[in-house]
Amino acid sequence: MIIGIIGAMREEITPLLDIFKQYTTHQISNNIFYEITYKNSKIFIAYSKIGKVHSSITATTMILHFGCQKILFSGVAGGLNQNLKVGDLMLATKLCQHDVDITAFGHPLGFIPESSVYIHTDERLNTIAREVAKDQNIILKEGIIASGDQFIHNQDKKQWLIENFQADAVEMEGASVGMACHLFNIPFCIFRSISDSADGNADISFDEFLEKSAKTSANFVKHMVDAIL
Ligand code: ADE
């Protein structure tokens, strides 16, 4: 089995590298991929840099160059749903790109012709995630994630994301990783721990909780790897 684990920022993968400790590195397209041998399997870990373009390139590289057969995403998100508080861990059921807008041509927000508004995460991986959460006594919330190339930090935009996409959390990479995986037929799942509430204090909250929330997500992803292998 070859598993790919992607984070957006260095802080999101550092806890995983600290857990696995031994790795070799590969440099491709100005990005570092960490290769780990674990339980007779291979794990590739990388942070993509922020945003949908970077993360889709990293996912594609994981799949086409390193032969990853499953992709797990670990990182942080802004909470939109009041039930998602800073520090909570969530599993994405489906994701959309909130900054796609060709409504001028009569299409729904987030829709791209020959594609769809939402990309669904893999139900088998999600089932494993629910079992891991139960075994580890971890509360794993679930919801819809809206991804876009914007850091959301205002109440009006927050409401807009909830109203238009029924989104529970917002981040900047999940839907694009999902799209790459979907197009190459690779099962994927997305874990995010909440770092902020995407409101007027989001920037301060993000800086304060990035490391802690990234660790929460990464620890869970390590349990996922153990459950998969
Ligand atoms: N990632 C974490 N918090 C976020 C926010 N408020 N907007 C976009 N991406 C995020």
**pLDDT 10s digits, 23-38:** 999 999 999 999 999 9
Question: Given pLDDT bands bounded at 50, 70 and 90, which one contains residue 66?
Answer: very high
pLDDT in tens, 50-60: 999 999 999 99
Q: Which domain holds residue 171?
A: 2-228
Which residue matches tokens 């930090």?
153
Output the residue whose Cα is nearest ligand 1's atom 3.
Answer: 78
The DSSP annotation for 65-115 comes to TT--SEEEEEEEEEE-STT--TT-EEEEEEEEETT---GGGTPPTT--TTS
CA 120, CA 72: separation in Å to the nearest integer?
14
Rounded to the nearest angstrom, the gap between the alpha carbon of residue 107 and the centroid of all alpha carbons in its chain is 26
Asked if 63 and 181 touch (Cβ cutoff 8 Å), the reply is: yes
Q: Mark whether 171 is an active-site residue.
A: no
Tally of domains within the chain: 1
**The one catalytic residue among 12, 122, 168, 173:** 12
Q: Mark whether 211 is an active-site residue.
A: no
Give the 3-state secondary structure percentages of the chain, helix then strand then coil, rounded to 5: 40, 30, 30
Asked if 28 and 149 touch (Cβ cutoff 8 Å), the reply is: no
Decide: 167 in ligand 1 pocket, CB within 6 A: no
* pLDDT, position 32: 98
The two beta strands, 70-79 and 89-97, are unpaired
Test site for ligand 1: of 150, 190, 195, most ligand atoms within 8 A of the Cβ? 195
CA 180, CA 223: separation in Å to the nearest integer?
24
Decide: 196 in ligand 1 pocket, CB within 6 A: yes
pLDDT in tens, 138-164: 999 999 999 999 999 999 999 999 999
Point out the ligand 1 atom lying closest to the alpha carbon of residue 197: 6
> In this structure, what CATH number is given to the domain that contains residue 206?
3.40.50.1580
DSSP class of 58: H
Give the predicted TM-score (pTM) of the model.
0.98
Beta strands in 98-223 (DSSP E): 118-120, 140-147, 169-171, 188-196
Average pLDDT of the residues in 88-99? 98
Which residue matches tokens 């990388």?
46
CA of 94 to the centre of ligand 1 (A): 17
CA of 33 to the centre of ligand 1 (A): 24
